[in-house]
């Protein structure tokens, strides 16, 4: 479905340490479906991606600071993983406030691997079923989420996957959810 997302703008929120494949493959999936993407980050210039969390790989140009972004300008949000990426995001007030504002809109979100750490920090997993890289299971459970070990999980517009091996299923579900759009229950259930 090459035109499923025509006219939609998708934000990708990432920082240094983002797992490259978890940024590139979802970005390609949504652009192949007709969307445009904007890379938001916590600093200007470029972010350093990694392979397997520790090996520096490519750098990616930041399109806009997350502190200058508004959830109203985008139809979907992608939160890639990598160990350092969400750890950097969770320490940034602008990133956390953006995530909290985003969840109030009811618009779909895709998060993979270690990406849910940012959602834990923003108190956005409480009462939700979500998956992630297994090492952050306890963090999700302690934050009130229900963690499951599945390839892809969808809960009120929140799409989550465990690791790069899950990217084909994650990307397909992400395009489907972004095409579907806003979720009323998602918005009503959000916490600030």
Give tens-digit pLDDT for 140-168: 999 999 999 999 999 999 999 999 999 99
**H or E stretch at 180:** helix 167-180
pTM of the model as a whole = 0.94
Would residue 186 show up in a list of annotated catalytic residues for this protein? no
Torsion of Cα atoms, 23 then 5 then 178 then 133, to 10°:
-20
Would residue 113 show up in a list of annotated catalytic residues for this protein? yes
Which one is catalytic: 43, 52, 113, 171?
113
Handedness of CA 72, 61, 57, 94 (dihedral sign): negative
Nearest by Cα to 62 from 39, 83, 81: 39
Q: Report the CATH number of the 9-181 domain.
A: 3.40.50.880
Which one is catalytic: 114, 171, 183, 186?
114
Distance of CA 116 to the CA centre of its chain: 8
Give tens-digit pLDDT for 78-87: 999 999 999 9
């Amino acid at each position: 479905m090459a035109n499923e997302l025509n006219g939609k703008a998708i934000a990708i929120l990432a920082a240094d340490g983002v797992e490259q494949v978890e940024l590139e493959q979802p970005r390609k999936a949504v652009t192949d479906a007709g969307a445009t993407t904007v890379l938001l980050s916590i600093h200007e210039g470029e972010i350093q991606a990694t392979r397997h969390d520790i090996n520096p790989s490519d750098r990616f140009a930041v399109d806009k600071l997350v502190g200058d972004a508004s959830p109203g300008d985008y139809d979907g949000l992608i939160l890639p993983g990598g160990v350092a990426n969400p750890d950097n995001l969770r320490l940034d007030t602008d990133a956390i406030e953006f995530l909290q504002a985003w969840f109030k809109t009811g618009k779909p979100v895709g998060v993979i691997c270690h990406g849910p750490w940012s959602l834990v920090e923003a108190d956005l997993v409480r009462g939700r079923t979500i998956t992630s890289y297994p090492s952050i299971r306890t963090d999700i459970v302690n934050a009130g989420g229900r963690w499951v070990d599945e390839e892809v999980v969808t809960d009120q517009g929140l799409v989550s996957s465990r690791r790069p091996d899950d990217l084909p299923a994650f990307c397909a579900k992400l395009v489907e959810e972004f095409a579907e759009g806003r979720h009323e229950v998602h918005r009503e259930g959000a916490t600030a």
